[in-house]
């Protein structure tokens, strides 16, 4: 019975993940931003990067976000257009839930830990937090994305990252490991060595 429950949960997670990626891609390819994303022309890259993030999300968060994507589509909203409009400072804040600041602070600390431990990989793969003036720095990108989430998903998200912080876990590092494995590396150390050599050339 326990194995059946695990199989059902795994099946649900895979279904949620596929539906989220399908709906996000549909929205993403329609985005017209002042700072176009290169992966708008590459659905596989988009799915690889976004999938590395959602792969780690708890089932409850996946379900909540999928509900919000479904409701947004029904109302004619494009959440990714809204995110990029916020990044370009074209529209006012969408959601001012105070947990957004808390989530951003936790994930900024995780990004800084990656920068210190894997500087070459960070330079090649991660969104920097240096001020760029165009809305593309990590904290602004994350904040603008979180603003498109509803309060239910935001509160679940905060509980999830806060529990990780208290347990001294770095989910950003885990997500990065998923991404490098999907890119053909054996792990973070191999990817760091590869990009360190590339950056030195």
Tell me what pLDDT residue 177 has.
Answer: 93
Q: Please list the alpha-helical segments (H only) found in the chain.
A: 2-28, 43-54, 59-74, 79-87, 99-117, 119-125, 138-147, 151-166, 171-182, 188-200
Number of domains in the chain: 1
CA separation, residue 43 to residues 48, 55, 107, 164 (Å): 8, 17, 26, 30
Domain extent for 164: 2-200
Under 8 Å between Cβ of 157 and 61: yes
Q: Where do runs of H (alpha helix) occur along 29-98?
A: 43-54, 59-74, 79-87
pLDDT at position 1 is 46
pLDDT tens, the chain, 201 aa long: 445 444 556 788 899 999 999 999 999 989 886 555 666 668 888 898 898 899 999 999 999 999 999 999 999 999 999 999 999 899 999 999 999 999 999 999 999 999 999 999 999 888 877 665 555 689 999 999 999 999 999 999 999 999 999 999 999 999 999 889 988 999 999 999 999 998 887
d(CA 171, CA 45): 21
């Amino acid at each position: 019975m326990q194995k059946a429950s695990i199989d059902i949960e795994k099946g649900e997670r895979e279904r949620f993940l596929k539906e989220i990626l399908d709906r996000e891609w549909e929205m993403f390819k329609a985005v017209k931003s002042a700072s176009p994303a290169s992966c708008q022309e590459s659905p596989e890259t988009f799915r690889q990067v976004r999938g590395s993030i959602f792969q780690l999300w708890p089932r409850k968060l996946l379900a909540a976000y999928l509900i919000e994507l479904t409701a947004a589509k029904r109302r004619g909203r494009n959440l990714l257009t809204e995110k990029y409009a916020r990044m370009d400072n074209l529209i006012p804040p969408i959601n001012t839930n105070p947990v957004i600041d808390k989530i951003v602070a936790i994930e900024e600390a995780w990004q800084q830990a990656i920068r210190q431990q894997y500087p070459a990989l960070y330079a090649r793969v991660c969104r920097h937090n240096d001020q760029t003036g165009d809305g593309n720095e990590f904290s602004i990108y994350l904040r603008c994305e979180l603003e498109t989430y509803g309060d239910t998903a935001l509160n679940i998200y905060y509980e999830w990252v806060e529990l990780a912080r208290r347990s001294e876990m770095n989910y950003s590092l885990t997500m990065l490991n998923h991404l490098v494995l999907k890119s053909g590396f054996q792990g973070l150390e191999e990817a760091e060595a590869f990009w360190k050599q590339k950056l030195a050339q």
